[in-house]
Amino acid sequence: MDNPMTGKVSQKGQVVIPVEIRKALDLKKGSKVSFELKNGEITIKKLLTALDWANLVKQIPVENVDIDADGHYDSKKSPDFHDWMVNG
């Protein structure tokens, strides 16, 4: 969505977020957003809900890693650990 869209500020200071953006961000009635003013520009971001966070946490891989006193682990028992630590 690289094309700029315009809106109009109402007498109460309200602005309608274009439908394309609302759909792309899954913004619904009651969704919370944050505003940041920096160098004369406004950035609006969707705030994550508890459900959004829960879904993100579900995506984190679970792998039991035994690390010895020297900081070493068995890469055969924990094959994804190194990649997760390096790449996140």
Strand 33-38 with 41-46, pairing: antiparallel
Q: What is the pLDDT of residues 33-67, one digit of tens each?
A: 999 999 999 999 999 888 888 888 888 877 788 89
Element (H, E) at 33: strand 33-38
Angle at 35 between CA 29 and CA 37, to 5 degrees: 155
Stated pTM of the model: 0.55
Whether the Cβ atoms of residue 52 and residue 60 lie closer than 8 Å to each other:
no
Q: For the chain, give the percent of residues with pLDDT over 70.
A: 97
**Within its chain, how far is the Cα of 19 from the centroid?**
20
Specify the DSSP class assigned to residue 34.
E
